[in-house]
Amino acid sequence: MSETIAGQGSLILDAEALYGELLRGVQRLMGPATRLAGITSGGAWLVERLHKDLNLPGKPSVLSSALHRDDFAQRGMSTSAQTQLDFDVNGADILVLDDVLYTGRTVRAVLNELYDYGRPACVRLAVLVDRGGRELPFQADFAAARVALPADRLLSLARDEGGAFQFRIQEA
């Protein structure tokens, strides 16, 4: 895991290299019955690629935070944000994947969504980047990198037409 502090200069994160770290971390966290679920959209992209790279059966599972967000009134419903689970949640060992962990609000919303489908035995979290700034008491079981960014910056995963990952840093 790498750690970077973004100050006045520029921050360069190699999303493809971090994906390699995430792949190794996920392999260490997975048991024979572990099921992967990615949070839309960056986490869904990650779980789609992990499914291929790990030769996992079934379809990649996706979790949406849209219906359980505390800012639903401002954000509304995204047409692409629909939960699709390829497994029974009851008693499952679930590894949730996301691109960036920041305040913890998306994780809270996704846990609420997950429990709408049943009661898992275990839920863990793996992320490409943990940027700190937590507002809720969540932490990742695995983070490929930890960075510090000013609160007025947004960090998100993007992918090009070929499927290669890169990060975008924008003003909030």
> Which pLDDT band, with edges at 50, 70 and 90, does 4 fall under?
very low
Domain annotation covers residue 32: yes
Domain annotation covers residue 5: no
List pLDDT tens digits, range 156-168: 999 999 999 999 9
Provide the number of structural domains found in the chain. 1
For the domain that residue 110 is a member of, what is the CATH number?
Answer: 3.40.50.2020
Domain annotation covers residue 145: yes
Domain annotation covers residue 137: yes
b vs e for 86-101, b when ≥16 Cβ sit within 10 Å of the residue's Cβ? ebebeebbbbbbbbbb
pTM of the model: 0.89
Domain span at residue 87 reads: 12-171
Domain annotation covers residue 74: yes
Domain annotation covers residue 6: no
Domain annotation covers residue 21: yes
- Looking at the predicted structure, is the pLDDT value of residue 133 above 90? yes
